[in-house]
Amino acid sequence: MTDITPIHESKKHGTDNFAYSIYHSVIPINMVRYPLHWHDEVEIYYFRSGTALFTICNQKIVAKSGR
């Protein structure tokens, strides 16, 4: 089995009372891509334009704006 510890994101998002954070990014201006990672919390992405490829439980999912 592959060791998944290096990609486990341990950063805390929000606070204990309000576990919610908003991050604004413009790809590729701010960053080229988000590094592969996982965590126990839910992560929600909102796209104003463009597309993204996610890998969730080894399944590739294409997300597009406006859908």
pLDDT in tens, 13-24: 888 888 788 887
Query: Among residues of the chain, what percentage have pLDDT more than 70?
Result: 91
Q: Is-cis flag, bond preceding 28, omega within 30?
A: yes
Beta bridge partners of 38: 8
pTM of the predicted protein model: 0.60
Indicate the pLDDT class of residue 2, thresholds 50, 70 and 90: low
Q: What is the rounded distance in angstroms from the CA atom of residue 1 to the CA atom of residue 28?
A: 33
